[in-house]
Amino acid sequence: MDVEQPEEAAGAKIVATRQFPLHWVLLASTAIAILASFYIYFFTKNYDFLIEAPCDAALSQCYVRDCSTGDCPPNNLSAYSLYRVPAALFSSCTDNSCSNICTAGNTVCKEIPCSSQVDVECSGPRAFQ
């Protein structure tokens, strides 16, 4: 009888269990990525929302789009101003336009001027200067 064969098989089994398991590293890195994203998006809210608010073209510069073609979003704003609102402040908005925050002169809410954008149509007092 050949007794060495089972010992070699047992030795190979021990060597196989001593190897570094790559699947645990992948599982741990996936868990870390999920936890980091959860922390950024739910606790610190370290991102911004772009908000479209109604705009009067007679008083200020406004973005303009043609809603007759059916390319308007659900708010149906053809003349609007665009604001960047931090996600941490979005919960204090009273409506979807965040007009209570952005029109009150809040320095955290930043208006994105139409003149700074390319390939958009503008209207208003400063649009043609």
Tell whether 34 and 9 lie within a shared domain. Answer: yes
Tell whether 26 and 79 lie within a shared domain. Answer: no
Tell whether 57 and 114 lie within a shared domain. Answer: yes
Tell whether 53 and 91 lie within a shared domain. Answer: yes
Has residue 112 been placed in a domain? yes
Q: What local confidence, expressed as pLDDT, does residue 4 receive?
A: 52
Tell whether 33 and 85 lie within a shared domain. Answer: no
CA dihedral 106, 97, 43, 29 (to 10 degrees): -120
Residue pLDDT tens, the chain, 129 long: 454 555 555 555 555 556 778 889 999 999 999 999 999 888 888 889 988 888 888 888 888 888 888 778 888 888 888 889 888 888 888 887 887 877 766 677 888 888 787 788 888 775 444
Tell whether 21 and 56 lie within a shared domain. Answer: no
Q: What local confidence, expressed as pLDDT, does residue 104 receive?
A: 66
Q: What local confidence, expressed as pLDDT, does residue 27 receive?
A: 94
Q: How many domains does the chain have?
A: 2
Has residue 103 been placed in a domain? yes
